[in-house]
Structure 1
């Protein structure tokens, strides 16, 4: 027997088991509503003040109830939401396989330019076959909605893990080579991600790392602006300088810059914004990783690693010679009362 609870957003009653536990306390319609807002960084658990929620018609056309079928995939529950639509957990009936189903907002299927771009990017994603890249099984348009059927990763994204502070430097150094290996493969296939960040990096329960959403940075901008000409694609703080200064002249080295940001964040728990401390100045991190981070974060792309494989090899060489004791997470630093510690030297990355 399912428990009926009241939504913290709209006050309406709904069955608690329908929505994934990440959205506990929010009804399916309100979860769907967040996918229509421009600000997707806000959690659906936060109180909505502005913009006003869409009409009931807009919400119900996007939300798919459990049991709904889309091209042989049966909806099970909501997994998450973003600026273009909602991701569901589903079951591919013919193969009895659990999958992730990304369903775009129905308003996008009416845009001929978006549909053309969607088909092109989906084909590029489906052509990628690598153990560290989320596989794409199918895509198309069903009942006026663009959809992508993807590999289901039973785990969490890197952002969720960072919020829980579960990663040690040793764990970070095991993750980064896998990411670089996936990017090296994708770049050799002519595919640039353009939006490498913790939210797009998944870890399953066995510790395997997978990158998701290849090509969706282009689609997100097409959805928001109706055109792709000269648009900035990516996420602030993770974007290479050229993604802002010359968005039409971006190549695979933008992903390497983003990997530098991710590596720094994994090692320090912070972002390399403005004047920042080197990783080794913040804890038990090998000083050689400072140079790996700084090279990946070079403003001039010619000065960065030219291949993701180069960065992978450097990180692997460092990790092979770090004693386990030095890989342990550093304890919180608490200054003695009345004697605040002087800040160590800082470094700057020009963006």
Structure 2
């Protein structure tokens, strides 16, 4: 079997050989990566006449009942969702004792890859791209929260396409109202600890959508600063140009008690976009050039593409004062 390198540099052995045919219709083109319990391949579906991503459960987990249930739940939840920002599932079944499903394939990068690339240049994500990406994630969550809680919203589970569109991935930890409690037992990873809400760390079975809000708050802080919101260090201390409203957003989203957080992904999104409008308003007024904006339904979102995220930061000394004034006089 061939050995490949994942995007983070860790090598792995692929289960299928390149160019082999699986389930009588999928030609294996190349492995795309290996996760905790599964492996993903780029395949050619000769029935649909298109390239797809095929995900399989790793053989060592085939007899692990909890892993199998989690894999099946990921498929079940994703099949119930129909939203432009959620990956679409096509085929899902078992073939020769191998559980698999196929989904849309996107020639994009994970948000984690984008963040690492910028860190390698000594930079962090720009405000415009941060707002756009998180706004689109919120749209996906607004739809998903009608039936489920994701519980694993992290940069690794967000795919950013070259045109700036976003896809939320991996509903393997999603919690439905009828969820089997065994899925939360020891042995099944419950999200990356930095993004996991306190109540989820304490008892993963008893969480609601505000656990996902916590993850959004952590991502907002990390995307702009390159760090996690640990201790009492304010975002403004790491990125002095940011207004106080950014710190207020993070503090509310990552509050210790769920009842102190935003009550929905929509509420978080609207507050996030209000902060961006403050920034944009100051820039338009002549302090700096405004970032281009596009319409998305009734919204205005900053234009961003994964291949062009190198906008200069606003570095005006009047910024914080003026943005706060605009915020409270709206």
* TM-score bracket for the superposition, by shorter chain length: 0.7 to 0.9
Gaps of 5+ in 1: 1-26, 35-40, 46-52, 54-58, 219-226, 333-351
Match of 2:46 among 93, 97, 105: 93
| Contact kept? 2:74, 2:174, Cα under 8 Å | no
**Residue pair 2:66, 2:183 contacting (<8 A) in 1 also:** no
State the partner residue of 1:296.
253
Contact 2:151 2:174 in 1 (8 A): yes
Q: What's the counterpart of residue 129 of structure 1?
A: 82
2:70, 2:183 within 8 Å by CA — same for their partners in 1?
Answer: no
CA change 1:67–1:217 in 2 (3 A) is: farther
How many residues are treated as equivalent by the alignment?
276
The equivalent of 1:69 in structure 2 is 21
1:182-261 to 2 correspondence within 5 Å? Answer: 182-188=140-146, 190-216=147-173, 227-231=182-186, 233-261=190-218
Is 1:174 aligned to 2:132, yes or no?
yes
Give the secondary-structure state (helix, strand or coil) at the position aligned to 2:47: coil
Cα deviations by residue, 1:226-277 (Å, 9 ceiling, x for unpaired): x525446111111000111122212211111001000111111211122322
3-state SS of paired residue (1:276):
coil
TM-score with structure 1 setting the length? 0.71
Q: Displacement of 1:173 after TM fit? A: 1.2
SS where residue 137 of structure 1 aligns? strand
Partner residue in 1 for 2:2? 28
Paired residue for 2:224? 267
How far did 1:112 drift?
Answer: 4.7
Higher relative contact order at CA 8 Å, sep ≥6: structure 1 or structure 2?
A: 2
Residue 75 and residue 294 in structure 1: after superposition, are their counterparts in 2 closer, same or farther (change >3 A)? same
SS in 2 for 1:77: strand
**In structure 1, distance between residues paired with 2:173 and 2:15:** 20
- Which structure 2 segments of 5+ residues have no match? 119-123, 176-181, 292-310, 316-330
CA positional deviation for 1:331 = 9.5
What's 2:95 paired with? 142
Answer whether contact 1:280 1:290 (CA < 8 A) is retained: no
Rounded to whole Å, the distance in 2 between the matches of 1:266 and 1:180 is 15
Compute the displacement of 1:42 (Å). Answer: 6.9
